[in-house]
Structure 1
Amino acid sequence: MSERSRVLVTGATGFIGRRLVPSLIEAGHEVRAMTRRPDDYAGSGDPVFGDVSDADSLRGALEGVRVAYYLVHALDQEDFEDRDAENARTFGKVAADVGVEQIVYLGGLGEEGEELSPHLRSRREVEGLLGEGGVPVTVLRAGIVVGHGGISWELTRQLVKNLPAMVVPRWVDTRTQPVAVDDAVRYLVGVADKEEARGRVFEIGGPEVLTYLEMLNVASEVATGGRRVPMIKVPVLTPRLSSYWLALVTDVDVTTGRNLIDSMSTEVIVSDTSIRDVVPGDPLPYAEAVRRALGERLAEGESV
């Protein structure tokens, strides 16, 4: 980066956004934090009003911006695919109209050509729609991002904490490659305003490929100092039944739970490590990511 860049972060109060804004500022960027309630914003950066479904508000938020981060989705809505598609199309068009030079999007892993879940299919569609206006899009595809406040991580933590034993469906044997939120943010910052990152898709993940069952076991061992939650696998437990089960034992709502579970039968493994050529550094192991997530929770005065 040869000069100070003006950057917009949508979803600035979210799980990723609230970590990304201060990291971008530390890296030397001038950051606008987009929110629908700027008067209530207490984080880093300059708060600005914006709503991804309102083109007029986006025009003001994006004016003069060089790099725009798109970190919003409607996973908690039944019609999230339609909403996400329309919002991405609007954002990409307005960004092109005002001269944005790069859009950065955090998408989802999943092999091309696979039968993707609605959640992953939507993430893939958004990648294309953001670039329809002509702005180069940098996509970082991730599986589960492990960190305090992340929905997928919260499912893991609460299951380990709340259940003495678990009846689990077959998708716990699906392989995935979780990434620490610290690494996800590091990669997001690292691609900002880099010519070699524009118009490219990168895959990000931690150093280990794990099944969901192995993730639950490691999280249990870290949280309890060695205890594992007994797991009993059953052959049939549909996404709908699984989502109701999750709603009973966690505070994740049924709609969000079902949309996430739909994706858990798809392997999400990194097959291309070229991100490390653009943003060097070794990613954190899963156990360390879990320790950091639990440590941050404790630091905020909450129990693990």
Structure 2
Amino acid sequence: MILLTGATGFIGGHVLKALSEKNLQIRCLSRKSINSGNPNISYVTGDVLDYESLVKATKGVDTVYYFIHMMGKQKEQEKFEVLDRIAITNMVRACKANSVKRIIHLTGMSNPQEKLSHHLASRKEVEEIIRNSGINYTIFRASVILGKGGAAFETLDTAVRKLPVIPVFNWQKTKVQPIYIGDVIRYLAECLDKSETINRSFDIGCSEILTYRELMQQYAKELGLKRVFIQIPGSWHRVSAYMLGRLAPVNPDVIYWLIESLRNTMVCEPNDLKRIFGFEPVSFKESIRKISEQVSE
């Protein structure tokens, strides 16, 4: 039995679909009762901030997919960091109480030589709690995930499509290694059967390393859009979040924390994922082509 958290979210929804195709028994954690209509998919009512509900949810479970991350209001970073800590601590305790064998987790990349944003620092803490829990784990770290419905991609898409003149701030030269959503889900779903991934953490990304400015420029080029980029000193987090929040289908507070994280480098450390999984993530250009095909269907 698999317990899937965040099943109605961007990552969780894709993972649910991938796992359901494997004919596995999947239990989804939800705040309200849902009837899936699929005999292999059930829903259990619970909340990661309620320990007792997690004990109930993890009963009879072998593997937990943990895709929970809090993102509060712009002036409440301490609050969501505390909630993140409580949530994962509750889950780890519940997993131990029911002898869950493994936790699979997706988080953000981080550079140990940099001071992390509030968003990435909280994600790093969650990762460390899982790694030090004594429970087997597999952890994947990504930077920009390219796919419709993802907050980072929707913000990028909105900026490039709707702003003929795009301001770039002090994060323009930060380097990242984006990855297509399909490849992320493939790693998450296939690692279930890969014993080589147990008790290991992996950075995942395509082969290209781009600055955020190059990311936007190449995306505009793939869309056939001519855009002018203007450099402006400073970070302008709040102004950017407010402006993009009015244009993008993303909560302005989420955009704020994502923009704050733009200062942090997200480049993959070498790993042996190709040997283990037998594939490499598609290129940035191919990612955009795939997304465009999905939108036109």
Calculate the TM-score normalised by the size of structure 1: 0.89
State the shift of 1:208 in Å.
Answer: 0.9
Q: Name the structure 1 match of 2:121.
A: 121
State the shift of 1:42 in Å.
Answer: 7.1
Looking at structure 2, the residues matched to 296 and 37 of structure 1 have their Cα atoms a distance apart, in angstroms, of 30
State the shift of 1:16 in Å.
Answer: 0.8
Residue identity in the other structure for 2:20:
I
State the shift of 1:105 in Å.
Answer: 0.7
Give structure 1 stretches of 5+ with no counterpart.
Answer: 1-5, 300-304
State the shift of 1:291 in Å.
Answer: 2.4
Q: Name the structure 2 match of 1:22.
A: 17
Give structure 2 stretches of 5+ with no counterpart.
Answer: none
Looking at structure 2, the residues matched to 265 and 139 of structure 1 have their Cα atoms a distance apart, in angstroms, of 23
Calculate the TM-score normalised by the size of structure 2: 0.91
Structure 1 residues 167 and 279: CA distance shift in structure 2, 3 A = same
Residue identity in the other structure for 1:170:
N
Contact 2:175–2:211 (Cα < 8 Å) also in 1:
yes
Q: Name the structure 2 match of 1:206.
A: 206
Deviations 1:241-292 (A, max 9, x none): 3322322433433321111111101110001222333222021111221222
Match of 1:39 among 34, 41, 60: 34
Find runs of 4+ consecutive structure 1 residues off by over 4 angstroms.
Answer: 40-44
Contact 2:71–2:257 (Cα < 8 Å) also in 1:
yes
Q: Where do 1:163-202 residues align within 5 Å?
A: 163-192=163-192, 194-202=194-202
Structure 1 residues 117 and 42: CA distance shift in structure 2, 3 A = farther
Looking at structure 2, the residues matched to 214 and 19 of structure 1 have their Cα atoms a distance apart, in angstroms, of 28
Q: Name the structure 2 match of 1:74.
A: 70
Q: Out of 240-249 and 8-17, give the one that drifted further.
A: 240-249
Looking at structure 2, the residues matched to 64 and 286 of structure 1 have their Cα atoms a distance apart, in angstroms, of 40
Contact 1:170–1:234 (Cα < 8 Å) also in 2:
yes
State the shift of 1:138 in Å.
Answer: 1.3
For the residue of structure 1 that corresponds to 2:189, the secondary structure is helix
Match of 1:54 among 32, 46, 50: 50
Contact 2:107–2:127 (Cα < 8 Å) also in 1:
yes
State the shift of 1:133 in Å.
Answer: 4.1
Residue identity in the other structure for 2:263:
S
Q: Name the structure 2 match of 1:270.
A: 268
Q: Where do 1:94-133 residues align within 5 Å?
A: 94-133=94-133
For the residue of structure 1 that corresponds to 2:34, the secondary structure is helix
Match of 1:246 among 244, 247, 267: 244
State the shift of 1:74 in Å.
Answer: 1.1
State the shift of 1:169 in Å.
Answer: 0.8
State the identity %.
31
Q: Out of 242-251 and 204-213, give the one that drifted further.
A: 242-251
Structure 1 residues 133 and 237: CA distance shift in structure 2, 3 A = closer
State the shift of 1:25 in Å.
Answer: 2.7
For the residue of structure 1 that corresponds to 2:172, the secondary structure is helix
Number of equivalences: 292
Residue identity in the other structure for 1:110:
S
Q: Out of 202-211 and 245-254, give the one that drifted further.
A: 245-254
Deviations 1:103-157 (A, max 9, x none): 0110111122321111111111001223554212211011011101000000011
Cα root mean square deviation, aligned? 1.9
Q: Out of 258-267 and 161-170, give the one that drifted further.
A: 161-170
State the shift of 1:86 in Å.
Answer: 0.8
1:88 corresponds to 2:88: yes
Contact 2:220–2:227 (Cα < 8 Å) also in 1:
yes
Structure 1 residues 267 and 131: CA distance shift in structure 2, 3 A = closer
